[in-house]
Structure 1
Amino acid sequence: VRVICLIRENAVSTTESRLIESIEKMGMMTTKLKDLIKNRVKTIAGDVALVRLGLIEEEYLFLTYEVDTVIHAAAYVNLIFPYQALHGINVLGTRNILDFCHKNKVKPLYYLSTDAVIPSNLKDVDEDINNEDVQGKLLNGYAQTKWVAERLVINSQMRGLPTIIFRLGNQAASMSTGVWNKQDFIYLMIFCSIQSKLAPDLDWTVEFTPVDFSASFIVQILTKNFRASIGKIFHLMNSEGPNWRQIISWINDFGIPVRLVPLQQWLQQISTIASAECQQLQKLFQIMVK
């Protein structure tokens, strides 16, 4: 198996070094993995939002014959930006990937979507919920763009393209390394609560799924259950997440004192903390509360 990774260009570093840096940042790099990357992974500079994925025509056409399966995970995750700001990567990028999958030979598509396409007021939603049933009920630009992108994938599937959609919940720390995406909302909530020694007193069921669980499931489908899974949608999310107050209790059990206080008091407190994480979270939280 050979893997080709499309990575956006960076004036400072090569695409291969960017891939390695990302893996190292997540605490996943091993000598064996570095050797596998060297021998079986090829990185290509491109951009899903651009015509021909940002590739020259000859390279694009070569890849349309060379590639057998596509995993589309590229997305701009931002809960604040409006639809138009996210349209390029999330919608146009998906359309460009679908064009690539159809070009010259059919290439099955694994599409990584999000549970954000399901309105937050709906509970116990099955995988076969009609995508059209939620139209107009999604309140932020990210959810709206991912809904439209899903619609494009489903339409292509109806026209004969083999597709599998994975709706991912909040991807939390790896079970093996404990490393968490430091831009993640829940990570920021926990980080700033520890920093301030205070946490908002919220009756909130926190949904998060270990990222390595999701990755393993997707690879399992890709390598062993592909044919039986064509046309299906999988929900990779934790339906039994802990309550926020329970998480704070666990933090205290580890010897880190954190006290529950009213939300506004907590927001006021984190506004005094100079860390970029807490400043970012405060802005995001204020918009969400509004």
Structure 2
Amino acid sequence: MNDLRNAFSNQPLSLTATSALRQDLRNYALQNLPQAMVPSRFVVVGQLPKLPNGKVDRKRLLQEAQTLQDVEGTPQNTHQPPTTPEEVQVAHIWKDLLGTQQIGIEESFFSVGGNSLTAVQMAARIREAFGVAISLRELFEAPTIREIALRLGTGSQQVLDQARERSVTPEMLLRESTLPDDIQITEGLKPAVQGLPGTVLLTGGTGYTGAFLLRALLDRSEARVFVLVRADSDQHAFERVRQNLQSFDLWRPQDETRVLAVAGDLGRAYFGLGRSTYERLAEEVEMIVHNGALSNYAQTYTYLKPINVLGTVEVLRLACRQRIKPVHFVSSLAVFPVRKGQERFPEAPLSDPFGVIGGYQQTKWVADRLVTEAGKRGLPINVYRPGQITGAQQGGQASTDTFLNAMLKGCIQLGKAMHFDVTLEMVPVDVCAAVISHLALGGQHHGKVFHLTNPRQVHWHDVVQMIQACGYPLKHTDYLEWYGSLTSALQQGEENELARYLVLFGDQAPSPDLGESGSAPVYLTGQLQDALQGSGIHCEPMGVALMQTYLKYFESTGFLPARTGEDADAALSLV
């Protein structure tokens, strides 16, 4: 360690270069990541220490990084001292909460050690000190001393709120959904393969839905499946795919010869691939199932656009290269506007973005429209719009990284569930995978839109009652009581799965991103029902039995604690 210190302290040019590199990295992170994800420190090491097996020695790396941080110190150009009384008082609260003595008014709360839990505590301290309630959403969207101090004044809150909305305007959505001119069916392209494809490209294959889609494609055909994966190498990509399948008990030994992982990036031009690899895909792939997307309701349109929108453009571009490739796009029922009352939505192309709220929802709207536009230019396409994808109806395997499951766990942790007048379409992931793979591989339906729903549309109140019937004691409360309990629990240091989604809950009501109270959408499914005739694919209606399957799986993985008592014994007899 002393040698490491001496090497850097005796090389001023090296210190200058690493300082510049750190600043470049910080600037890049600020431009491409939300504030809460920007690292608080960047430490440059000469080389990565390795273990005898060639893997990175993480323990030694942390030790060396800490040593270098001590040598290099903390960049001083980020520290601007407070100048107004409000800034001074907010800075004092930060220092007390975070245990640090030097904080600049332009530094993000999350880059200097703050997190969701301390954000709640900070909101409470500011309310006590100033008598003004700063919402958690405001803290996430304006996490600097300067911006918080401005919000404590008059006239600034509305302007800052509008500047940091997750959504963009409907007019911008219409502009964003213009397909580039080069995505065309041109002369000289090989025609689309008739019958079952021999090769398929799957995006999003290391996600939850992607795992079941890959399993279904492998089981329902003899095709080799290329899986585009963000990874350091093709081998690393393959390991990610295999581990993902294994995590849901979906891996089979014979998959090794049919899964062809490709290290690439959906959010980069030409997937960030070298020319030879890209042209190989263009030549060999005969069909594309485009499932890849970032599904984060708490993020902005701008943040999600590279993957969800530009990634879709790249998929369509590949589909028109060398060979015509049918594209089967996994969209979402979230593409529809949210309004009070009942509204019927047909299985048809999108035209109206007005009322579509939220960064995720809007990126899916634009991508859905782009795929439809490619279809108008002659590319064979299908669009699938599932509801909220839940655990498998066979086995209960479910992702713990969805908002709906975070909501279920968060309410169970609180022992309370809020009143929320919204309806949900909860569709099992294995049913979604079976439907999409069946229709995609069948090749009989092109230019169609399919709504993937559950035979039973459920109200949030129904979901709460199902959880209660399964042995978890939940008290149904009004929103203000529920929100107060959640923030109070976090202020006291209790863990809650909803901490990372606090930005979606306001002091008086949930964010419109989560739905409009009183909305009752009806999604028509006639085209889907006709296409599935004779397929044998059946979706189990959402009810207590299916909820019990999901909760048992969550208990088996440790996501939820095991139920105890007489209510639990009675609930366990339901399945």
Q: What secondary structure sits across from 1:6 in the alignment?
A: strand
**1:49 partnered with 2:267:** yes
Q: Which amino acid aligns with 2:365?
A: W
Q: Residues of 2 paired with 1:205 and 1:37: CA distance?
A: 39
Partner residue in 2 for 1:66: 284
Specify which of 183, 195, 199 is matched with residue 413 of structure 2.
Answer: 195
- 1:61-114: CA deviation from partner (whole Å, max 9, x where unpaired): 111111100111111112232221111111111111111000011011111111
Q: How far did 1:10 drift?
A: 5.3
**1:234 partnered with 2:453:** no
**1:248 partnered with 2:248:** no
Q: How far did 1:239 drift?
A: 6.1
Map 1:90-109 onto structure 2 (within 5 A).
Answer: 90-109=308-327
Partner residue in 1 for 2:226: 4
Shift in CA distance, 79/239, structure 1 to aligned 2, threshold 3 Å: farther
Specify which of 266, 275, 283 is matched with residue 495 of structure 2.
Answer: 275
Q: Which amino acid aligns with 2:350?
A: N
Q: Tell me, yes or no, if the aligned pair for 1:28 and 1:177 is still in contact at 8 Å.
A: no
Partner residue in 2 for 1:125: 345
- 1:122-151: CA deviation from partner (whole Å, max 9, x where unpaired): 6221102x411x223312122222222122
Alignment TM-score, normalising by the size of structure 1: 0.90
Q: Residues of 1 paired with 2:475 and 2:484: CA distance?
A: 15
Q: How far did 1:206 drift?
A: 2.5
Shift in CA distance, 158/40, structure 1 to aligned 2, threshold 3 Å: same
Structure 2 gaps of 5+ residues are 1-222, 513-575
Shift in CA distance, 255/151, structure 1 to aligned 2, threshold 3 Å: closer
Identity rate, percent: 28
Q: How many residues align?
A: 281
**1:28 partnered with 2:246:** no
- Structure of greater relative contact order (alpha carbons < 8 Å, 6+ residues apart): 1
Partner residue in 2 for 1:15: 237
- 1:229-283: CA deviation from partner (whole Å, max 9, x where unpaired): 1000001123632222222222222222111111121122223153351212333
Specify which of 371, 391, 412 is matched with residue 153 of structure 1.
Answer: 371
Specify which of 80, 86, 94 is matched with residue 298 of structure 2.
Answer: 80
Q: What secondary structure sits across from 2:308 in the alignment?
A: helix
Q: What secondary structure sits across from 2:257 in the alignment?
A: helix
Q: Tell me, yes or no, if the aligned pair for 2:390 and 2:426 is still in contact at 8 Å.
A: yes
Partner residue in 2 for 1:265: 481
Deviating beyond 6 angstroms after TM superposition, the runs of 4 or more aligned structure 1 residues are none
Q: Residues of 1 paired with 2:228 and 2:305: CA distance?
A: 19
CA RMSD of superposed structures (Å): 2.0
Q: What secondary structure sits across from 1:123 in the alignment?
A: strand
Q: What secondary structure sits across from 1:131 in the alignment?
A: coil
Q: Tell me, yes or no, if the aligned pair for 1:189 and 1:281 is still in contact at 8 Å.
A: no
Alignment TM-score, normalising by the size of structure 2: 0.47
Structure 1 gaps of 5+ residues are none
Q: Which has more radius of gyration?
A: 2
Q: Tell me, yes or no, if the aligned pair for 2:329 and 2:381 is still in contact at 8 Å.
A: yes
